[in-house]
Amino acid sequence: MEEQLLKLFRERPERDWSGEDLSRLLHCSRTAVWKHIQSLKTRGFEFESAPRRGYRLVREPDSLDAALLASRLSTKRFGRRLNVLDTVDSTQSIAQQWIADGAEEGALVLAEEQTGGRGRRGRPWHSPPGKGVWMSLVLQPQIPLQFTPQLTLLTAVAVCRAIGKLTQLPIGIKWPNDLLIHGKKVCGILLESKAEDERLVHVIAGIGISANLALEDFPETLRDIATSLMIESGRRVDRHELIAEVLSQLEQLYDLYLSQGFEPIRLLWEALNVTVGRHLLIQDGSESIQAVATGIDKQGALEVRTPDGRTRKIYSGELEMA
């Protein structure tokens, strides 16, 4: 009921809604409407109200709110089951437990803060409270196990498109899964999968977006290499709107991938990347490789050309771009 109320207020923000109109549209009593509005107030929503005029929503809370997010979703599956938490060790760990308890594809875990957020190769991910989007999405694609890395590139494309659409910032993808603005990292993506008997069982797509962090919110060690959408745009980002757009882009591209394969995703990735054409120093295990990135292949591996003219494929490793 509160989701429906919020949807009405947001669709017509200039309108004063009478208790009578709301009760008629929601098929409930005026007393029930009043109780739901009082409940929304306790969650940080602010309303103006006056006799004979009705109610108007004037301010939404900065904290993540499940009902508010649900009212903004345009997806059919992604995010329709969601778990919004305050402080967690890692949304990846919560999602893993949720899968064990029967969570289906599209289930989403969100947290205001992560105390043990992690990126690739087990690195810590800075996740302060109330400033970012720290989320994990459950996927259960029926694809061969060896195609799993393609989902990392798909996720990067979806998040890049969502951020670009909402902010108009010059964001690009560094292979395979970092999103950069003006050379600084604004988003990291970590996909963790489970397989049995060479069969992919599930994938958990972890996404961390530095949305509303100020410069002082970053540790000094990160200030030269990390940024946020607020720093780059000069304004705060509506996190509910951002999450809804990310999920919308993800579901669209995921369905496209399942129906048409990786090629459309590969072309979108190449259009958004900031890696192809750059001189790279690649650390692959104990080997250091100097090369120029030339593209990605049909499996999602990075293709590079070494100084001796040879073409190599990079499946994992750390990249430094010149």
Per-residue pLDDT of the chain (322 residues; tens, 9 = 90+): 888 999 999 888 889 999 999 999 999 999 999 999 988 887 767 899 888 889 999 887 778 999 989 999 999 999 999 999 999 999 999 999 999 999 999 999 999 999 987 655 556 668 888 889 999 999 999 999 999 999 999 999 999 999 999 999 999 999 998 999 999 999 999 999 999 988 899 999 999 999 999 898 899 999 999 999 999 999 999 999 999 999 999 999 999 999 999 999 999 999 999 999 999 999 988 889 999 999 999 889 999 999 999 999 999 888 999 7
* Residue 51 pLDDT: 84
Give the closest residue to 273 by CA, choosing from 153, 187, 184, 142.
153
| CA trace torsion 267, 176, 252, 249 (10° rounding) | -110
Q: Are 139 and 202 in contact (CB under 8 A)?
A: yes
Dihedral sign for Cα atoms in the order 223, 212, 319, 119: positive
Cα–Cα distance for residue pair 157/174, rounded to 1 Å: 11
Q: What domains sit in the chain, N to C, each tagged with a CATH number?
A: 2-59 (1.10.10.10), 66-272 (3.30.930.10), 279-321 (2.30.30.100)
Identify the three-state secondary structure at position 1: coil
Cα–Cα distance for residue pair 159/156, rounded to 1 Å: 5
Where are the alpha helices (H) located in 59-123, listed in sequence order?
A: 66-72, 91-100
* Residue 316 pLDDT: 87
Q: What are the distances in angstroms from CA 191 to CA 119, 120, 137, 139, 222? A: 9, 9, 9, 10, 23
Q: Are 82 and 104 in contact (CB under 8 A)?
A: no
Name the strand (E) or helix (H) holding 245: helix 239-260
Cα–Cα distance for residue pair 192/109, rounded to 1 Å: 14
* Residue 124 pLDDT: 63
Outline where DSSP puts E strands in the chain: 46-50, 54-59, 82-88, 108-114, 133-139, 171-174, 178-181, 184-196, 199-209, 279-284, 287-296, 302-305, 311-314, 318-321
